[in-house]
Homo-oligomer: A and B are copies of this chain.
Amino acid sequence: MTTKIIPVVKEILSANDQVALENSETFTQNNVFVLNLMASPGAGKTSLILATSTRLPDILRPGVIEGDLASRIDADKIAAQNIPVVQINTGGGCHLDAPMIRSALPELPLDEIGLLFVENVGNLVCPANFNLGANAAIVVASVSEGHDKPHKYPGIFAAADAVILNKSDLMEVFEFDLEFFTNGLRMVNADAPLFVLSCKSGNGLDVWVAWLTSKALAGD
C-alpha cells in the first residue's frame, strides 16, 4: 500500500485582503478606530464627517482620508476645520482599495488621531467588495435618494455595520416612506443600527455620535 501525500490547501488572502490586514494591524498599534463610509454621490458623507467631528470627545481626535475620482473639494472642506486629511484621487477608479489606504497612512499623524474617517468614492455598488482594514462599514443613505435604495442595492446594505439616513429634515418634501426603507434594510441586514438624522439641522446626531463613541472606545 502506497502512502499518498495529501495536499493541504490553505486559504490564501487576496493581495487586497493582505494589505487590509496590514492596515488593520497599523491601526490597532496606533489605537486608531477606523470607519469606512460608503454612500451614493451627494448623500452627505463629508457633511457627516464634519458634523460628527465637532461632537466627538477629546480622546477621539478625528482624521480623514478622502476618496474621489478627481478634485480636492472635500479635502479642502475638512482641512478648513483643522482636521488632518489626505485626499486620494482614484483617476477613473470606482472605489478605494487597501493599498490606496496604505499609501495614504504616512501622510497622517496616526499617533494624534483617535478616529479615522475613510470617505469612499460615491458609489452604492463597488466599494462594498473591497476590505480596507477598517473597524466598521457605515452606509450613508439620504432621504433625497428615495426610500427604495436597500431594495435596489442590497449588497452594500448587507455589508453595513451601521446605516445612516441623512437629510431627515426633508422627509415630507420627498414623501419618504421610512417603513418601506426600513423593511428593505431588514430584508438584507437584521442587526445594523439605523440612525435617522440631519447633518443640516443637527437632529439625531447625538444618538449616532453616542453609538460611535461607545464603539470606538471599546475598540470593536
Contacts and interface: CB of A to CB of B under 8 A. Distances in A.
A126 B121 CA distance: 12
Interface residues of A, number: 33
A154 B41 CA distance: 13
At the interface, is chain A mostly helix, strand, loop or mixed?
A: loop
Task: Count identical subunits in the complex.
Answer: 2
B152 A69 contact: yes
Contacts of A68: 152
Interface in A9-44: 40-42
A112 interface: no
Interface string A110-125: 0000000000011111
Contacts of A74: 152
A218 interface: no
Nearest to A174: B144
Nearest to A148: B73
A145 interface: yes
A144 B145 CA distance: 8
A152 B90 CA distance: 11
Given A142-B144, A152-B41, A69 B173 contact: no
Contacts of A125: 69, 92-94, 121, 123, 126
Contacts of A154: 69-70
Given A42-B145, A69-B153, A70-B151, 10 more contacts: A40-B42, A41-B149, A42-B142, A69-B154, A73-B148, A92-B155, A122-B152, A123-B124, A123-B125, A144-B144
